[in-house]
Structure 1
């Protein structure tokens, strides 16, 4: 079908869509190349057959994250056991819990890591020898190279080059995001980005008051290759195993993220 939207008008719409998707992170799209970056990010969204589902390993990740965010140790223990049974390595489980300190805070991360230690020890005593997994296989950049890598990762995940009033007010927060979260953490290659986003969505869905960030990470999940079918499955998993508010927040965030994407791509999924 021939695109009849004038070029300038389309750029304005792309800019607006990009702004809506990243505003949950307190960001607005920078001028200049924002429309081009958003177009490129849309092309990264994978449109797969509806039969493609989350693996058993992937299904455990949002539950681990949600129960960590809730500080529900009995359910976290069960979710960790489920994940390890499904092929999650000990290293991957640790990485999920470490990453989530950026979203849920150090206390919850430390408590969850202690719970993982108990789970692994109990499984060993029962004769279960879980796959240890590996540490990151490449060196993490430092200095200016870390800023470059982190900024690139941030742009890919957010869908466009971003900046915002909050960063003008407190520039150091974006420096921390670019160098630490999107640099130090997202450069670690012992956990893939899809797993990282599944964990982030699970934790944010379980946290009241961060609906805007949850919406942004639903969109980010599609940018790193998760399909709409898989994200709908994620919301169903949360519906079945978590409280009604957690499931409602996840479902609403997915609906809102899809509305923006479909506005620019009417034939999406």
Structure 2
């Protein structure tokens, strides 16, 4: 029986890559990376996903995952497999221009200006989010925003205790055009990748978002 999916093969591979990174499961990450490269992710795509993960899972997880990607790429080369290198990102602005761009990106992704008592209490984190996460990272144009959000949802679904952040990124995903069906596809990919609890959290977040609309 043919299963109709709304994500393409490359997009479908992303959630398991980020989930495995989030929990530090190198065996599952190895499998997910191979699946993603087989599906057509470039080496640059895979690197960019794992670089972005440091903002959500921390430097140690991201660095370990990048090390695993290096092993995967080398092993595939030794087996005679050729993976597309992909492209490097374009130039990202600096200084005030970067902060302005990051603020604009955050506003577009979120569907409105992001503010609140937390950011007034700790304005530094607001600046870091705007200038670095939504500026330095989301301004890098070698990975599209839908792919970045699939990676983020996959990672946050795999981590316990971050339900509000997962909910926010499910909302962002829908704001930028990922449909509920696509997000359910992402949850199914988490299931197939060996992350059933993450899949349940992802589905619950989608249903909660739909109920709030």
Measured against the shorter chain, the TM-score band is over 0.9
In structure 2, what is the Cα distance between the partners aligned to 1:172 and 1:215?
23
Unaligned runs of 5+ in 2: none
> Which has more radius of gyration?
1
Aligned to 1:260: 212
In structure 2, what is the Cα distance between the partners aligned to 1:58 and 1:142?
30
In structure 1, what is the Cα distance between the partners aligned to 2:202 and 2:194?
11
Aligned to 2:170: 218
TM-score after normalising by structure 1: 0.76
Aligned to 2:194: 242
Aligned residues: 210
Task: Give the conservation status (yes or no) of the 8 Å contact 1:219–1:258.
Answer: no
Q: Secondary structure at the match of 2:142?
A: coil
Per-residue deviation, residues 225-258 of structure 1 (Å, max 9, x unmatched): 1112111111122233333321221111111111
Task: Give the conservation status (yes or no) of the 8 Å contact 1:62–1:198.
Answer: yes
Unaligned runs of 5+ in 1: 1-50, 262-269
| 1:56 maps to 2:9 | yes
In structure 1, what is the Cα distance between the partners aligned to 2:137 and 2:110?
16
Task: Give the conservation status (yes or no) of the 8 Å contact 1:65–1:202.
Answer: yes
Q: How does 1:125-164 map to 2 (within 5 A)?
A: 125-137=78-90, 139-164=91-116
Per-residue deviation, residues 197-250 of structure 1 (Å, max 9, x unmatched): 000000000000001110111111111111121111111222333333212211
| 1:91 maps to 2:44 | yes
Match of 1:180 among 120, 132, 136: 132
RMSD: 1.1
TM-score after normalising by structure 2: 0.96
In structure 1, what is the Cα distance between the partners aligned to 2:61 and 2:132?
19
| 1:230 maps to 2:182 | yes
Aligned to 2:31: 78
In structure 1, what is the Cα distance between the partners aligned to 2:106 and 2:194?
30
Q: Secondary structure at the match of 1:163?
A: coil
